Structure 1
Amino acid sequence: MKSQQTTQTMKPATAAKKLGVYLPATPQEFQEGVVTRAELNEFQANPPAWLQELRRNGPHPRPVVAARLGVSIAGLARGGVTEALTTEQIEALRQERPEWLEKERATQAEVRKEAARIKGKQAQED
């Protein structure tokens, strides 16, 4: 007997998160439908023009903004950034170098340094 495979689907919010885009900026038909695993794979392999544009210019979701600025998502919140930002706005922040951004970058660098130290220590113990 052959078992029937069901098509795996996901909500648009989940697909947007996996694609690294801000859901409210996606086309209406993407927001209102469901996305199959095959469609998600196709979006990743051959992104349509709207997806390319969103990835290039935004608006970007907070995880992408945080990564591009080199801070944590919590650091963004502490700095007062709670909305999605465009690439242009991210670049402006990089140029302005506000005090909160410099402080959060330093904090993030310390966190990474500590994580590397712990990983190295654990490797020596093994």
Structure 2
Amino acid sequence: MAPQKTGQTMKPATAAKKLGVLLDATPAEFRDGVVSRDELNALQAGPPEWLRELRSSGPHPRPVVADRLGVSISGLARAGIDEPLTTEQIAALKEEQPDWLRRERLVRAEADREAARLKAAQSGAK
């Protein structure tokens, strides 16, 4: 008889990362247990109110902040942004357009162009 297959589980930090939310902002019942693959899929398919609220207003983890600002995570670090930001704070930065934000957007745009050039060159070589 084959052993019974157990469902894949992950730590709450991993699940929060996959959901694009800050672990510390999630409810205690989410942080204190393990999350199965089925539970993660259910959260993604039909997010509860707390997840919808976190995704819309934050606080957001650095990858989400960087993406919404159009900069890299390294660019956030260079600017001294090392804490989570809310949607309101991100909107304020976009409105202010500080020098570091304009500079880091140019850096990311150049990196994206270079990555696209390399990908095109690589696909042309095949």
TM-score by length of 2: 0.97
* Unmatched runs of 5 consecutive residues or more in structure 2: none
- Match of residue 74 from structure 1: 74
Q: How does 1:1-126 map to 2 (within 5 A)?
A: 1-126=1-126
Shift of 1:2: 3.8
Query: Which of structure 1's runs of 4+ aligned residues deviate more than 3 A?
Result: none
Distance 1:96 1:70 in 2: 14
Distance 2:55 2:120 in 1: 35
| Pairwise CA RMSD | 0.8
SS across alignment from 1:65: helix
* Unmatched runs of 5 consecutive residues or more in structure 1: none
Shift of 1:102: 0.5
Distance 2:29 2:122 in 1: 49
Cα deviation code 1:94-117 (max 9, x no counterpart): 000010111000000000111111
Q: Percent identity?
A: 65
TM-score by length of 1: 0.97
Shift of 1:3: 3.2
